Chain A
């Protein structure tokens, strides 16, 4: 299953997803641009952009082994972390100037402790991300953003002005807006783009300069606008997941006839569905409010389960979803808990729900195929 449109732009997005250093990133580096990595959808990209660096979300695409990382981490640590740290140890991320973490989960926050001791990245920074979402936490995170901004200023010898922050917020909001337009197209009875293809686009948005990405996405939207759309699907599916950055996973599901039309993912709606307030007096307060209160929440935000569940149910209605797949990385407690709760909620609503475990590197495609087929059949599709 794939889009009926022959798009060079889409192909470029897909290529960007298949590597770490894609052509646009390479061009940025070759021109002397600095790159800063971040590990989580709460990573404040806007501050990095305002510092004149290129923010990229950390992935372990292309990794084939964890043997170096396994000397430091353990077999009960998630494979995303083990692959990422392995790439750090073998020098695959030597091109980055800095790396920022948040205590978003037990696995990722420990890469920070290991990375700062074992990998020579010039700037490493950790931010304390609250687990509640009241005004008190907005204030706390504002101060964390101030600390991060000051760390960047000190390291780079620059001043990050409010004006720069406002420009960055506008730029990143535009990315969110354009991506939402892409999602709008998927509401159609015959969406012009698959879930796997959409994931490529979203991953690319975190891996290349935003100006270039926005320009390319506008081209793609124009190409898709009048497209015929996909008709040969058996059911419309939604994926709920954490850091799923591999379109191949969704492709296997779609090859069985389950067209993924929307999601609640860290590489998906949870980073694009709302925007940072561009008119706020203090841009850092606006950013803090966005990340703590406005952005669709991660399961780690303690008091947000009803909102998270409502978000999924709203998506189901808006995108005419027939069934939901809850995916989690093995050993991830956040998504174990979330899938348990969501499964209960959706059962009450009579919405078919399938839980899938996976490792970071796509393995067991046959098993995934069988599970997807069985799920579609259980839905009578």
Chain B
């Protein structure tokens, strides 16, 4: 099946450039034979695989789709349909130096208080900086922004791209899981109609079994992060685990192997009592949301070196996942539906009632021996920020200090790095954590 879709050359060149950039990083790491380097090499190879897949489709007129991590990518793996993350361009390393200009461009479309990741996604489509897929799976939760950005995209450059949205219920019960599972069945039909890829249930079983191994290994790794000191710093672990399990290798054999490498290294470090923080771990932090992706190198190393902060867990590294029951088609769809409604990060907390914000904080603080909780309050996470009082009260009840920052994870002009550092310094000083 061919798509007969004209691809924006600017987008393809951008992705080729980023692939070359990632290859350069991989080549640089080849000189490093440490186990930690092997872990990072595994992730970069996964990124390169994804680029190869998407570029091959785009350059050779083969069908491919765009979707989100929250749509049970095991289905796409089982169907064999190539896909990339809808906001992918916003995460390209090669584009990072230009991101503030891009944000200014996005502001002309959707203003200044709409989630930056989402307005950038619209901007990149409008500016011909995103490949044009054969079909788009629109995410209709966990926030208002996702619903609106997909509708806006449908009016512009992707006017002719077929779009599907699965209607997310607000509840967590069997009625909701069944409803959403049926939405997934419609999604599979939609993908088949527009790409020609079909779903074989036996293949889905194999994929879910492989996926179950990944999630079990991820949970095993998290057990090791509970140890004091935490064996890995912020660069290794949670964000990588999330990326590998949910969109690079969902149900693919390479995923489980990577997790085993990660665990083996963490075990050695735990046995040796080695901290991930080079100067020693003094403060164990829960960063309860996404890390400040576009300026994390401005803040995370400083937190480590200045205060001995170990970000033991973040929202994306937490593993509340249940294995998918592979008994039959219904149990697999039910399991993928439940995972997509109640387990993936951000969706779990932000989609429905606010309870998971509180129960997750409690679980993580207790299990991971957390000293303080940071709610970064990304400017797009309005529903989460409406829970800040409840989260503060929960932390007070647990006896851990709570810090509400107020940042844009993409734009350090929103709250400057100096301001963020100042907030942290005052927080650690006033709570006594800085004296540890």
Contact = CB atoms under 8 A, between A and B. Distances in A.
Interface of A: 71-78, 81, 103, 105-107, 109-114, 117, 126-132, 136-137, 140, 143, 299-300, 302-303, 305, 330-334, 336-338, 340-341, 344-345
B406 A331 contact: no
Contacts of B150: 302
A337 B167 contact: no
A55 B38 CA distance: 63
Interface string B141-184: 10111011111101110000000010111110001100100100
Smallest CB-CB A-B distances: 7 pairs: A337-B148, A72-B389, A110-B386, A128-B170, A113-B354, A74-B385, A106-B383
A302 B138 contact: yes
B115 interface: yes
A338 B111 CA distance: 12
A136 B182 contact: yes
A305 B155 contact: yes
Contact of B386 (A106, A131, A303, A340): A106
Contacts of A126: 170, 353
B354 A110 contact: yes
A81 B353 contact: no
Interface string B322-365: 00000000000000000000000000000011110000000000
Contact of A76 (B138, B353, B377, B389): B377
B171 A128 contact: yes
Given A113-B387, A114-B386, A336-B111, A74 B147 contact: no
Given A302-B140, A305-B154, A340-B110, A334 B148 contact: yes
B311 to A, nearest CB: 22
A341 B406 CA distance: 28
Nearest to B404: A74
A74 B377 contact: yes
B388 interface: yes
B389 A71 contact: yes
Given A126-B353, A344-B156, 20 more contacts: A73-B389, A74-B404, A76-B406, A78-B382, A106-B386, A109-B170, A109-B383, A113-B354, A130-B169, A131-B140, A131-B147, A131-B165, A131-B167, A299-B148, A302-B151, A305-B154, A337-B110, A337-B152, A341-B155, A344-B155
B155 A330 contact: no
B404 A131 contact: no
Most A CB within 10 A of own CB, among B114, B138, B382, B388: B382
Most B CB within 10 A of own CB, among A78, A109, A127, A136: A109
Interface string B119-156: 00000000000000000001011011101111110111
B140 A77 contact: no
Given A75-B406, A336-B110, A341-B152, A137 B167 contact: yes
B379 interface: yes
A333 B143 contact: yes
B169 A333 contact: no
Contacts of A299: 147-148, 151
Given A73-B385, A131-B168, A140-B169, A337 B151 contact: yes
Contacts of A337: 110, 114, 144-145, 147-149, 151-152
B294 interface: no
Contact of B388 (A72, A128, A137, A345): A72
A77 B385 contact: yes
Contacts of A338: 148
A177 to B, nearest CB: 31
A130 to B, nearest CB: 5
Nearest to B115: A333
A177 B404 CA distance: 49
A66 to B, nearest CB: 12
Interface string B386-406: 111110000000000000101
A103 B168 CA distance: 11
B144 A105 contact: yes
A73 B381 CA distance: 12
Contacts of B193: none
Nearest to A130: B167
A129 B352 CA distance: 11
A341 B386 CA distance: 27
A233 to B, nearest CB: 30
Contacts of A303: 165
Contacts of A78: 382
Most B CB within 10 A of own CB, among A128, A305, A332: A128
B152 A331 contact: no
Nearest to A328: B111
A64 to B, nearest CB: 21
B165 A302 contact: yes
B71 to A, nearest CB: 15
Contacts of B303: none
A110 B144 contact: no
A300 B143 CA distance: 10
A131 B180 CA distance: 12
